[in-house]
Amino acid sequence: MLALTLGCSHPGLTFSPEKFRPKRSFCVCANGFPSFLPEDVDNIKDTFARNLAQRIERLPVQVPFLKTSIMSSCVRPVMQGRTDPVVLLHGFDSSVLEWRYVYPLLEEAGVDAWAIDILGWGFSDLESRPLCDVASKRNHLYQLWKSYIKKPMILVGPSLGAAVAIDFVIYHPEAVSKLVLIDASVYAEGTREMSTLPRPFAYAGVSSAVALLKSVPLRYYVNNLAFKNLSFDVSMDWMKIGRLHCLHPWWEDATVNFMMNGGYNVIPLIKQRLHVSCKMRRYAQYPSVKKPRSVADFIIQFAQEASGQLSPFDSASDITYHHQALTL
């Protein structure tokens, strides 16, 4: 198993010209967006976000903890590539739209790329209010992989998505050929303190915190902290993109359920600290948005190396490569 924690150019990937158009499992509105997306999607101006949002579909995923399937949101490739499937997860309280700038670059290079919403976030149909704890998220991802992807994947996890990826590969190593961890948030101990409080107090506290996550002022403020020198219009637009999934009626219940159950703590699963394999000094946070070309080039080259050996880099690239950076 190889793991990289997050740039470089690529010569391009070879891929089959055969295309397939997946059957859509939803209605499309006159504006081109899937009908299950919140109506506010039409207020988003970012072309890349709009284009990717129009590609989102829901696939039925049967999980053992529910009698009915979960209609699970994702973006599927429209072109069959010759690399291992590349599966893009997202960070905490986010969605596939996090990949709006990277996904088209991967697709352009012929990468067999999937962007998948982690159970409890994104745009899946959670009307039934399923459990959204760590085990449920893991099981849901596995069942989606087993039903649709069906072969070892390169699993890409940014921020908290890195913890999701590590937790997943521990339990299902046969499903993952390589890991790419970007700005990995894997050394936090989750929200276990909340899970030990008396439930009424814990629920009240978590619910208040989660409700705050949805607020426009907080989202706008955090957006401006993360992304400097944005115009007011762009900052507001990116806030709308990041907040869109919160407008589903089940979002708060799903997020509270996750936090009440302790969140992710993968520290005991890591026997050796992860090495930083690609240092992007000026873009430590949100590199998929701040530096999409570098992130895409990195993933493309990594996917291209079937043997797991990257070609030598120019010393100016500021990249170090580590075999078995994550000992499983």
pLDDT per position as a tens digit, 37-74: 999 999 999 999 999 999 999 999 999 999 999 999 99
d(CA 293, CA 314): 17
3-class secondary-structure state, position 228:
coil
Q: Could you tell me the pTM of the whole model?
A: 0.81
d(CA 296, CA 158): 13
d(CA 321, CA 275): 9
CA distances from 162 to 107, 124, 142, 168, 180 (A): 22, 20, 16, 10, 8
| Tens digit of each residue's pLDDT (9 = 90 or more) over 125-178 | 999 999 999 999 999 999 999 999 999 999 999 999 999 999 999 999 999 998
d(CA 134, CA 75): 22
Q: Give just the sign of the alpha carbon dihedral 297, 300, 302, 306.
A: negative
Domains and their CATH numbers in the chain: 2-190+264-317 (3.40.50.1820)
Q: What is the model's pLDDT at position 14? A: 33
Q: How many CB atoms lie within 10 A of CB 104?
A: 17
Q: Are 157 and 181 in contact (CB under 8 A)?
A: yes
Chain centre to alpha carbon of residue 148: 17
d(CA 9, CA 23): 34
Length of the chain: 328
pLDDT tens, residue order, the chain (328 aa) = 555 555 333 333 333 333 434 444 556 665 799 999 999 999 999 999 999 999 999 999 999 999 999 999 999 998 777 778 999 999 999 999 999 999 999 999 989 999 999 999 999 999 999 999 999 999 999 999 999 999 999 999 999 999 999 999 999 999 999 889 898 877 676 666 555 655 565 566 667 777 778 889 888 988 888 888 899 999 999 999 999 999 999 999 898 889 888 888 888 887 655 554 454 444 557 889 989 999 999 999 888 884 343 433 332 232 222 323 333 3
- Pairing of the two strands 113-116 and 86-88: parallel
Which long-range contacts link 232-238 to residues 24+ away (Cβ below 8 Å)? 233/45, 237/44, 237/45, 237/46, 237/49, 238/46, 238/289
Scan for tokens 């590349």, then name that residue.
86
d(CA 83, CA 67): 35
For residue 179, what is the enclosing H or E element? strand 176-182
d(CA 44, CA 95): 15
CA distances from 13 to 2, 103, 108, 111, 301 (A): 21, 15, 9, 7, 9
- SS percent in the chain: helix, strand, coil, step 5: 40, 15, 45
d(CA 203, CA 195): 9
